[in-house]
């Protein structure tokens, strides 16, 4: 497989990206505290029949470090697609990446052939059980980044993943490389207004909502909201897995995505 990787200087920042394959474009967007490596089990599989692109969000991975300068993640993605001469793509995001993908579908419908929101966040959702990143942020301020990472890896988000040694080893490596900046600073990402939760009915592209059976209740509730409010959205629950559904059961995750694309 011929893989191209590079640094795109776009939108006043630098974004690391990798792409491979030919065919209809698919863009993969990673979750919070992670980076584009989390899509390893999808990147090679889908590059056989698609042009697959994965990138590190601003402030994560090998993209530019976070700063206090306000920015719009959807504008970053649009600028990256323009840089790569991609006119439209299926946009796939997990967790934080899912919320970016949803916002992108709302902001740039002409660029969005399809939307896949896996174990997704949702801007405007009230988090009645508490935002998952809140406790690690408290620990980071009191005891430091390393202590916050240890707590983060032991939250309910990652308990199912921890039951598979090879999955948890990968996950631990990704989080070890995360800067921790967002736990100690206000998030500079600008969220669209009104928030996405109030505008989901405007999404017109084909949409797949994936949720791990053992994910936290808030993410199940978000998946229900997405399916109820996005016209024609379909839902796929992957049994036996938690928040990191693409890592915990890549075969079922990939099969659901292939069926959706087909």
Domain segments of the chain as ranges: 3-127+191-261
Q: Determine the pLDDT at residue 1.
A: 77
Residue spans of alpha helices (H) in 109-164: 134-143, 145-153, 159-162
What's 3-127+191-261's CATH class? alpha beta
Q: Determine the pLDDT at residue 72.
A: 97
The 10s digit of each residue's pLDDT in 21-31 is 999 999 999 99
Q: Determine the pLDDT at residue 191.
A: 85
Q: Determine the pLDDT at residue 56.
A: 98
CB within 8 Å of 18: residues ≥ 6 apart: 3, 4, 5, 36, 43, 53, 54, 55
- Whether the predicted model's global pTM rises above the 0.95 cut: yes
Residues 176 and 140: their CA atoms lie apart, in Å, by 14
Q: Determine the pLDDT at residue 221.
A: 98
Q: Determine the pLDDT at residue 34.
A: 98
Regions of the chain with pLDDT less than 50: none
């Amino acid at each position: 497989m011929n893989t191209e990787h590079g640094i795109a200087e776009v939108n006043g920042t630098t974004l690391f990206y990798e792409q491979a394959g030919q065919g209809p474009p698919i863009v993969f967007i990673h979750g919070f505290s992670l980076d584009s490596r989390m899509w390893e089990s999808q990147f090679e599989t889908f590059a056989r029949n698609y042009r697959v692109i994965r990138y590190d969000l601003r402030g994560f991975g090998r993209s530019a470090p976070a700063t206090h300068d306000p920015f719009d993640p959807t504008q970053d993605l649009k600028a990256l697609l323009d840089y790569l001469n991609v006119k439209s793509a299926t946009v796939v995001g997990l967790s934080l990446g899912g919320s970016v993908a949803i916002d992108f579908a709302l902001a740039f419908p002409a660029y969005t052939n399809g939307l896949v929101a896996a174990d997704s966040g949702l801007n405007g959702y009230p988090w009645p059980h508490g935002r998952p990143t809140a406790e690690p942020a408290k620990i980071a301020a009191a005891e430091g980044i390393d202590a916050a990472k240890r707590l983060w890896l032991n939250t309910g988000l990652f308990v199912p993943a921890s039951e598979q040694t090879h999955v948890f080893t990968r996950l631990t490596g990704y989080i070890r490389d995360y800067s921790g900046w967002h736990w100690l600073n206000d998030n500079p990402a600008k969220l669209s207004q009104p928030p996405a939760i109030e505008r989901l009915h405007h999404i017109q592209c084909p949409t797949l909502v994936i949720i791990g059976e053992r994910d936290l209740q808030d993410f199940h509730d978000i998946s229900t909201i997405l399916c109820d409010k996005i016209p024609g959205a379909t839902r796929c629950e992957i049994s036996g897995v938690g928040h990191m559904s693409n890592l915990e059961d890549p075969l079922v995750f990939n099969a659901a995505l292939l069926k959706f694309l087909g």
